[in-house]
Amino acid sequence: MTADAVDAVVVGAGPAGAAAALELARAGAEVVLLERGPFPGSKNVYGGVVYGRVLDEVLPRWWEEVPVQRWVTRRSTMMMTPTGSVSVDVRSTAWGEAPHNGMTAYRADFDGWLADKAVAAGAELITSTTATGLLRDAGGAITGVRTDRGELPARLVVACDGVNSFLAKEAGLLPRTDPEHLTLGVKETLALPRPVLEERFGLRGDEGVDIEMIGCTGDIPGGGFLYTNRETVGLGVVLSLPGLTASGRRPEEVVADLRRHPSIAPYVRGAEVVEHSAHLIPEGGYRTMPPLAADGLLIAGDAASMCLAAGLWLEGVNFAIGSGLAAGRAAAEAIGGGDTSRRGLAGYRARLADSFVLADHRRLRGAPGFVLSDRVQRAYPGLVCDLAQEVFTVRNPEPKPGLLRSLRRGARRRGIGLPRLAADAWRALRIFG
Ligand SMILES: Cc1cc2nc3c(=O)[nH]c(=O)nc-3n(C[C@H](O)[C@H](O)[C@H](O)COP(=O)(O)OP(=O)(O)OC[C@H]3O[C@@H](n4cnc5c(N)ncnc54)[C@H](O)[C@@H]3O)c2cc1C
Query: Which pLDDT tens digit goes with each residue over 43-64?
Result: 888 989 999 999 999 999 999 9
Is 187 close to ligand 1, i.e. is its CB under 6 Å away? Answer: yes
Residue of 49, 277, 307 with the most ligand 1 atoms within 8 Å of its CB, for mutation? 307
Looking at residues 394-405, what average pLDDT do you find?
Answer: 92
Looking at residues 90-108, what average pLDDT do you find?
Answer: 97
Q: Looking at the predicted structure, is the pLDDT value of residue 159 above 60?
A: yes
Is 130 close to ligand 1, i.e. is its CB under 6 Å away? Answer: yes
Is 307 close to ligand 1, i.e. is its CB under 6 Å away? Answer: yes
DSSP state of 148: B
Amino acid at 234: G
d(CA 88, CA 80): 12
Q: Band of the pLDDT at 175, cuts 50, 70, 90? A: confident
Q: Which pLDDT does position 236 carry in this prediction? A: 97
Is 127 close to ligand 1, i.e. is its CB under 6 Å away? Answer: no
Amino acid at 48: G
Q: pLDDT above 70 covers what percent of the chain? A: 99
Q: Whose CA is nearest to atom 33 of ligand 1?
A: 12
Give 9's contacts (C-beta < 8 A, 6+ positions apart).
31, 32, 34, 131, 144, 145, 152, 154, 156, 157, 158
Give 212's contacts (C-beta < 8 A, 6+ positions apart).
75, 76, 77, 78, 223, 224, 225, 312, 314
Q: Looking at the predicted structure, is the pLDDT value of residue 176 above 80?
A: no
**Helices and strands (H, E) in the chain, number of each type:** 15, 19
Q: Whose CA is nearest to atom 46 of ligand 1?
A: 12
Tens digit of each residue's pLDDT (9 = 90 or more) over 212-256? 999 999 999 999 999 999 999 999 999 999 999 999 999 999 999
Tens digit of each residue's pLDDT (9 = 90 or more) over 105-123? 999 999 999 999 999 999 9
Q: Which pLDDT does position 2 carry in this prediction? A: 52
Q: Which atom of ligand 1 is nearest to the CA of 306?
A: 19
Question: Can you say whether residue 62 is alpha, beta or left, with left for phi > 0 and alpha for psi between -120 and 50 degrees?
Answer: alpha
Q: Which pLDDT does position 152 carry in this prediction? A: 98
Answer whether the bond into residue 99 is a cis peptide, omega within 30°. yes
Q: Which atom of ligand 1 is nearest to the CA of 16?
A: 25
Is 314 close to ligand 1, i.e. is its CB under 6 Å away? Answer: yes
Q: Which atom of ligand 1 is nearest to the CA of 165?
A: 38
Q: Which atom of ligand 1 is nearest to the CA of 129?
A: 43
